[in-house]
Chains A and B, each alone.
Chain A
Amino acid sequence: NAGVTQTPKFQVLKTGQSMTLQCAQDMNHEYMSWYRQDPGMGLRLIHYSVGAGITDQGEVPNGYNVSRSTTEDFPLRLLSAAPSQTSVYFCASSYGTRGAYEQYFGPGTRLTVT
Chain B
Amino acid sequence: DAKTTQPNSMESNEEEPVHLPCNHSTISGTDYIHWYRQLPSQGPEYVIHGLTSNVNNRMASLAIAEDRKSSTLILHRATLRDAAVYYCSRMGYSGAGSYQLTFGKGTKLSVIP
The residues in B between 16 and 59 inclusive whose CB is less than 8 angstroms from any CB of A are 30-32, 34, 36, 41-46, 49, 51
Tell me if A99 and B92 are in contact (CB < 8 A): yes
Tell me if B101 and A50 are in contact (CB < 8 A): no
Closest to A56 in B: B98
Assembled-state Cα–Cα distance A59/B3 (Å)? 13
Tell me if B43 and A107 are in contact (CB < 8 A): yes
Closest to A100 in B: B32
B74-109 CB contact bits vs A (8 Å, 1 = yes)?
000000000000010001101011111111111000
CB proximity of A66 to chain B, nearest CB, Å: 14
Given contacts A43-B103, A100-B32, contact A50 B97 (CB under 8 A): yes
Assembled-state Cα–Cα distance A46/B104 (Å)? 16
CB proximity of B51 to chain A, nearest CB, Å: 8
| Cβ–Cβ < 8 Å partners of B100 in chain A | 33, 45, 48, 58-59
| Cβ–Cβ < 8 Å partners of B30 in chain A | 99
The tally of residues in B whose CB lies under 8 Å from a CB in A reads 28
CB proximity of B105 to chain A, nearest CB, Å: 4
CB proximity of A114 to chain B, nearest CB, Å: 21
| Cβ–Cβ < 8 Å partners of B51 in chain A | 99-100
Q: Specify which of A4, A33, A103 is in contact with B36 (CB 8 Å cutoff).
A: A103
**A77 contacts the other chain (Cβ, under 8 Å)?**
no
Interface centre among A40, A97, A108 (most CB of B within 10 A): A97
Known: A98-B32, A99-B30, A103-B101. 17 other contacts (CB 8 A): A33-B101, A35-B103, A40-B105, A42-B103, A42-B106, A44-B103, A45-B101, A56-B94, A58-B100, A92-B43, A92-B44, A92-B101, A98-B91, A99-B49, A100-B49, A100-B51, A104-B46
Those 3 A-B pairs whose CB atoms lie nearest each other, nearest first: A99-B32, A99-B91, A105-B43
Tell me the A residues contacting B by CB distance below 8 Å: 4, 31, 33, 35, 40-45, 48, 50, 56, 58-59, 90, 92, 97-100, 102-108
